Structure 1
Amino acid sequence: MSEYSFVKGGKLKLKGTTDGKSSSKKKKHKKRKHEKEVKDSREIEAEQRGGWWQVSQTNEITGNVAIEIGKNAYVYAMDTGMFTLGAPNSDSSIGPAPPEQFSAIAISDRKIALKSGYGKYISVNAENQVVGRSDAVGSREQWEPVFEDGKTALQGYNGCFISCNSAGDIVAVNSKAGPEEMLKIYSNKSLVKKPKKSEEEESGDLKDCEVDYVKKFQSFEDRRLRINQEDSGNLERARTTGKLHEELLDRREKMKADRYCK
């Protein structure tokens, strides 16, 4: 297993509203509330599963992923290029083992490619076996995740869905997704969103904020950083009134040393 260490249309007016605004506000409020609930539940799940959480749409399948078939049993990559179902994980808080982790690459809005820890892309061979022996992505190496009614299945290029047969091999033989083809895809991508630059500027240290602002616009022909040495008390006042950027630009203009100033 040493390889794994490297590894604008018009507004719709509805009955009971005059301009559609009331209905729109309610829908947006419900959507935000739903998104918050989903995020919270995933954070809880990630804490319980060692950082892993279940994806519910294709664009979430990026970075490291694991495929669970059954209860706490994941698709396991062998050094032969074949795949089997790993032993059930008795402690879900540990998460999938390295051979049960794959790298996901987005191919399109609907399809992805998967690479094992051995550096090979996963495909379906002529016997409908799932194998990991490809060095590049072609049609055989493309997979389409299907999400419906809270259930997930993974369809190969041959139109069949992944499952585990009686011998313990991972195959793609059934063109219809039944109970045996149901699976779960987990990701360990961080759910913590980094604050936007504007948010950092609004809440961070004002001195650092001004330095970053100067670096953004100064030409640095002589490699010297020029900061306005006047009292910076007005920056705090400008931040509270929402005019921080305007004040920073005014301070830069007074320096008369930046060709990018207005």
Structure 2
Amino acid sequence: MEASFTKVKGGALVLKGEKKKKHKKTKKRDRSGERDGEGGKKLKKNLEHEDMNKHGGWWQTTNLAHIVGPVALQFYNGAYMKALDNGKFVLGAPHDEGQGPEPEEILMAMKVGDGKFSLKSGFDKYLRLDKAARMVGVSDAVGAMEMFDPVWEDGKMAVLGPNGRFMSVDDEDFVVFDQDKVGPAQIIRIRSNREREDMKKTEIPEELRGNLYQVETKFVKKFQKFQDHKLRLNPNGVAELVEAKRGGNLHETLLDRREKMKSDRMCK
């Protein structure tokens, strides 16, 4: 893998003078592809949750926007980068399945510069490179030497240091930036335990909780005003609401039923 992580756009090979033939079953295959796409998204989400559970709730970041707040840097063997009390960083011990990073392995990340991020240790110091290209946490502020580049390709990531070289581990397990090219040992996972927007559970509004009779009662009380203070519900029962809920248009049906009751009263 080259240092620049050069991306090559692939596609079907078409010989010169050859035309693509569109078959009659194209539409059917296209629809099948859409169904496969939906299934693929569901499978991907399930795999992400499975991976997150294996790492104590810490999920793998996939873009720069994710690298904010508490993070941990995980190497190819599953171990995390760990801070020492002398300011240096080493490869920590392997973790059991379901266990997240230790406190010494957790950093605070923030976006800085153009597509870069910086890291702060638990000792309240920013991370930078020393003269030997080793990672150290000794800075009180962020400058050019405290900025790092996340480089992604094909779902994998490497971290490029301010010296133009990639993050790795030396023979003494110290974290260094001394590699011009990216190989398996330079593949890094940055994990976060922040709540992801796409993983938040959808909260059910209060007026839509309970059985359908209770739902309509609360809906009418919320939106309808009465001169005689009497509650008036649609007399047609909840069968229509059951079908509407199955069809995904419950809210619209509740609104139609309320408007119908309002119209009937005004006609009397």
1:150: Cα distance to partner? 4.6
**Which residue of structure 2 lines up, in the alignment, with residue 170 of structure 1?**
175
Q: Deviations over 1:56-103 (max 9, x none)?
A: 4444434332212242321001233221111233x2322211111122
Residue 70 (structure 2) pairs with residue 64 (structure 1) = yes
The runs of 5 or more residues in structure 2 that have no matched partner are 1-19, 224-228, 260-268
Closer/same/farther in 2, CA of residues 46 and 194 from structure 1, 3 Å limit: closer
Q: Percent identity?
A: 32
Q: Deviations over 1:122-173 (max 9, x none)?
A: 2224442212233443333322222334533111222211111123321112
Structure with larger Rg: 2
Closer/same/farther in 2, CA of residues 234 and 156 from structure 1, 3 Å limit: farther
Q: 2:68, 2:107 → 1: CA distance?
A: 10
Q: 1:145, 1:80 → 2: CA distance?
A: 26
Q: 2:221, 2:131 → 1: CA distance?
A: 61
Match of 1:116 among 106, 114, 121: 121
Match of 2:156 among 151, 154, 161: 151
1:40: Cα distance to partner? 0.9
Aligned residue pair count: 231
Query: Quick one: which amino acid aligns to residue 80 of structure 1?
Result: N
8 Å CA contact retained: 2:234, 2:258? no
1:12-27 maps to which residues of 2 (within 5 A)? 16=22, 25-27=31-33
8 Å CA contact retained: 2:79, 2:93? yes
- What is the TM-score normalised by the length of structure 1? 0.65
3-state SS, counterpart of residue 88 of structure 1: coil
3-state SS, counterpart of residue 33 of structure 1: helix
Residue 81 (structure 2) pairs with residue 75 (structure 1) = yes
8 Å CA contact retained: 1:202, 1:239? no
3-state SS, counterpart of residue 162 of structure 1: strand
Match of 2:92 among 80, 86, 89: 86
Deviates most, 71-80 or 60-69:
60-69
8 Å CA contact retained: 2:71, 2:191? yes
Query: Quick one: which amino acid aligns to residue 80 of structure 2?
Result: Y
Query: Quick one: which amino acid aligns to residue 169 of structure 1?
Result: F
1:85-104 maps to which residues of 2 (within 5 A)? 85-89=91-95, 91-104=96-109
- What is the TM-score normalised by the length of structure 2? 0.63
8 Å CA contact retained: 1:201, 1:209? no
Query: Quick one: which amino acid aligns to residue 178 of structure 1?
Result: G
Residue 251 (structure 2) pairs with residue 244 (structure 1) = yes
Q: 2:254, 2:171 → 1: CA distance?
A: 70
Q: 1:202, 1:59 → 2: CA distance?
A: 35
**Which residue of structure 1 lines up, in the alignment, with residue 49 of structure 2?**
43
Query: Quick one: which amino acid aligns to residue 187 of structure 1?
Result: S
Q: 1:93, 1:178 → 2: CA distance?
A: 27
Q: 1:105, 1:97 → 2: CA distance?
A: 20
Closer/same/farther in 2, CA of residues 93 and 249 from structure 1, 3 Å limit: same
Closer/same/farther in 2, CA of residues 172 and 15 from structure 1, 3 Å limit: same
3-state SS, counterpart of residue 96 of structure 1: coil
Q: 1:161, 1:62 → 2: CA distance?
A: 21
Residue 171 (structure 2) pairs with residue 138 (structure 1) = no
8 Å CA contact retained: 1:69, 1:184? yes
8 Å CA contact retained: 1:210, 1:248? no
3-state SS, counterpart of residue 200 of structure 2: coil
Closer/same/farther in 2, CA of residues 239 and 208 from structure 1, 3 Å limit: same
